[in-house]
Amino acid sequence: MIIAFIGLGNMGIPMAKNIVKAGFALHAYNRSPEKMKDIVLAGGKAFTSLEEAVEDADVVITMLSDDAAVTEVTGKIIPVMKKGSIHLSMSTIGAVTSSALAKTMEEHQLYYIGAPVMGRPPAAEAKQLFVLLSGKAEAKVKVQSVLEAMSQRIFDYGDDPASAHTVKLMMNYMIFVVTEMLSEVMLMAEKSGIDKQMLLDTMTSTIFGSPVVKIYGGLVIQEKDNPNGFKTTLASKDLHLAQEAASQNNVTLPLGEVIQKHFKEIIAQQGGDKDVTLLVSFLREKFL
> Could you give the residue numbers annotated as active site?
168
Give the separation between CA 55 and CA 283, rounded to whole angstroms. 49
Provide the phi-psi class of 26: left if phi over 0, else alpha when psi is between -120 and 50, else beta: beta
Give the separation between CA 175 and CA 121, rounded to whole angstroms. 16
CA angle, 124 then 133 then 1, to 5°: 70
SS (H, E, C) 64-79: CCCHHHHHHHHHHHCC
Decide the pairing of beta strands 25-29 and 45-46: parallel
